Amino acid sequence: MQKILACIDESTWSTSVQDAAIWAAQQLSNPLTFLHSIEKQHLPESQDLSGAIGLGARSKLLNEIATLDELRAKVALQLGKELLATAGIKAQDAGCSDVTTVQRHGEFIDNLLALEDSARLIIMGHSGSKTDKKLSILGTHVESLLRRINTPVLITPHDFTAPKSFMLAYDGRATTEAAIGHILTSDLLGGLDCHLVTIKNKQPDQQEKFAQATERLKQRGFNVIATYLQGDISKELLAYQHNNAVDLLVMGAFASPRLRQFFIGSNTLKMLENSPIPILVMK
């Protein structure tokens, strides 16, 4: 059975990832795995010091740097184990019966991609240990991951609350059609009110496709509030979310893997940077 894969680190954002993972596991009844990656620490190279200090002092400092590097690795390893243990206990106490933990060395993206085939849903924080609580600072891994991953990704804000409603930003293109397909075949959003919102664009038959999407969601049992808007996409969506107290945003990503600048200038990126609620990105 495919798993829910939740990525945690040493940041305060990990609490929201854990909370979202527990909610998702309960909605889907899928096994839950917490992943912690230990990335390489970047310390000064020996050549950076060669022209600044004498040979004897340089040798001594390099030895101290090597010792410090080894100590950091041990601390990171132990800290990660404790983070994983705490997350596992929290999930089990919340009623999740199938919980595992994985700790790996290496780049976070590479570790995650290696596990993607076993994942039904990936959960990660909007920001991480290298950023603070400022909403507009997107974590360094988020955009890179979304360029390369094919699995749905739930990106959490600093604090996560189990949603009671979600908004699907529908534009009639293949990515949002795929998002509807995911929603219809998954229990993740079951029981939540659905706000289906579209912004007027040049997509052929947009209104007809919007009406069909509304009907498909209603037939699946969703309480659908369908709204047709005009104006700047990201501004209108954020305003609608705020005015209607929507708890979760669902968006499609660009479909073409050939776009090297996957999110640059896109409305998805603007929403990721500015939305105060969780965002579920589907391809």
Q: Can you give the pLDDT at residue 56?
A: 55
- Residue 117 maps to a domain: yes
For the residues 4-31, what does the mean pLDDT come to? 94
Cα distances from 196 to residues 167, 179, 210, 250, in angstroms, run: 6, 12, 9, 10
Domain count, the chain: 2
Residue 230 lies in a domain: yes
**Residue-wise pLDDT tens digits, 54-113:** 555 566 667 776 777 777 777 778 888 999 999 999 999 999 999 999 999 988 899 999
* 58 occurs within a structural domain: no
Does residue 52 lie in a domain region?
no
pLDDT at residue 27 greater than cutoff 90: yes
**DSSP label of 31:** -
Q: In terms of C-beta density within 10 A (0-12 exposed, 13-18 middle, 19 or more buried), how is residue 188 classed?
A: buried
Shared domain check, 175 and 217: yes
Same domain for 135 and 37? yes
Percent over 90 (pLDDT), the chain: 52
Q: Residue 122: helix, strand or coil by DSSP?
A: strand
Structure-block tokens of residue 35: 């992943």
Residue 64 domain-assigned (yes or no): no
Q: How far apart are CA 242 and CA 70, in angstroms?
A: 48
Q: What is the pTM of this model?
A: 0.83
258 pLDDT above the threshold of 50: no
Assess if residue 110 is contained within a domain: yes
Last residue of a domain, one of 108, 132, 156: 156
In the structure, what pLDDT confidence band is assigned to residue 138 with cuts at 50, 70 and 90?
low
**Rounded CA separation 111/37 (Å):** 7
13 domain-assigned:
yes
Assess whether 170 and 151 both reside in one domain.
no
Q: 122: buried, middle or exposed (CB in 10 Å: 19+, 13-18, 0-12)? A: buried
Q: Do 27 and 19 meet the contact criterion of CB atoms below 8 Å apart?
A: no
CATH code for the domain in which residue 256 is found: 3.40.50.620
At 17, the pLDDT band (50, 70, 90 cuts) reads very high
**Is 249 inside a domain boundary?**
yes
Q: Do residues 249 and 171 both lie within one domain?
A: yes
Q: How confident is the model at residue 274 (pLDDT cuts 50, 70, 90)?
A: confident
Q: What is the pLDDT of residue 104?
A: 92
| Domain final residue pick, 156, 187, 214 | 156
Instruction: State whether 147 and 196 are in the same domain.
Output: no
Distance CA 174, CA 254 (A): 9
**Averaged pLDDT of the chain:** 83
Whether residue 103 is found in the same domain as residue 9: yes
* 152 and 170 share one domain: no
Mean pLDDT of 22-33: 97
Could you list the residue range(s) of the whole structural domain that residue 183 is in? 165-282
Instruction: Give the model's pLDDT for residue 272.
Output: 82
